[in-house]
Amino acid sequence: MRPLTPVRIPGDGMVVLMGASGSGKSTFAARHFGPTDVLSSDALRGLVAGDESDQSATEDAFELLRLALRMRLARGRLTVVDATNVQRWARRLLLDAARREGRPAIAVVLDLPLALCLERNELRLVHRLPAAAIRRQHRWLVESLPMLAAEGFARVELLRSPDEVERAAVALI
Ligand code: UTP
Ligand code: MG
């Protein structure tokens, strides 16, 4: 049997999940973290607008996300950000918050094949996106990978196949 993939995370840090829609960020978050440790842009859109896919609520949802993130990090609470985070400006806002609170930032990247993300998207009953949006997110993710360490992430944990995701074992350090 192949070994587990260790994903090392400081217990007072910020975990930034990254991946195209359908890469499995929310599934990963639900499997490895407690429900109150996860700040989800979709859930916050739902909180604000009653509909997780209401794009008009995006700005409010991210404002709430950053506010909650800052409050949690100030208390030293491990916090997981469940959003695509494939754009540099989005990561920049999160990294600024972590730096201000003096907490380490870890990227957990679900770098799965585009074809798999598209296939899962087609099978979804809710939150299905146009294929072009997923292609774009995937491209941004791939372009982002070489820059993550320089952006300020203390660690970058790459998960590059469904098998690696399946075998991921979160270890708090
Ligand atoms: P997620 O809903 O976890 O993806 O899984 P995501 O990255 O958070 O997507 P967005 O950004 O919010 O849109 C997407 C679909 O893929 C299935 C899930 O059941 C869901 O239907 N999935 C996820 C798998 O089949 N296997 C996995 O290992 C993970
Ligand atoms: Mg999700």
Q: Using one digit for the tens of pLDDT, what is the confidence trace for 46-86?
A: 999 999 999 999 999 999 999 999 999 999 999 999 999 99
Shortest-distance ligand to the CA of residue 84: 1
Look at residue 4 in the predicted model and tell me its pLDDT.
Answer: 87
Whole-number Å distance, alpha carbon 42 to ligand 2 midpoint, is: 7
pLDDT-based confidence at residue 94 (cuts at 50, 70, 90): very high
pLDDT attached to residue 124: 95
pLDDT, tens digit (0-9, with 9 covering 90-100), for 22-54: 999 999 999 999 999 999 999 999 999 999 999
Does ligand 1 have an atom closer than 6 angstroms to the CB of 24?
yes
The distance in angstroms from the start CA to the end CA of the chain is 25
Q: Which ligand is nearest to the CA of 18?
A: 1
pLDDT of residue 92: 98
pLDDT confidence of residue 1: 62
Cα–Cα distance, 151 to 14 (Å, whole number): 14
CA of 159 to the centre of ligand 1 (A): 14
Beta bridge mates, 79? 14
104 Cβ closer than 6 Å to some ligand 1 atom = no
Q: What is the number of the ligand 1 atom nearest to the C-alpha of 127? A: 13
**10 CA to middle of ligand 2, Å?**
23
Mean pLDDT taken over the chain: 96
CB 76 within 8 A of CB 172: no
pLDDT of residue 5: 87
Q: Whose CA is nearest to atom 12 of ligand 1?
A: 21
Does any ligand 1 atom lie closer than 6 A to the CB of residue 72?
no
* Atom of ligand 1 lying closest to residue 29 CA: 3
HSE-up (13 A, CA, CB side) for residue 45: 15
Tokens of 90: 């989005």
The pTM (predicted TM-score) of the whole model is 0.97
Q: What is the pLDDT of residue 153?
A: 98
For residues 150 and 127, which has the higher predicted lDDT (pLDDT)?
A: 150
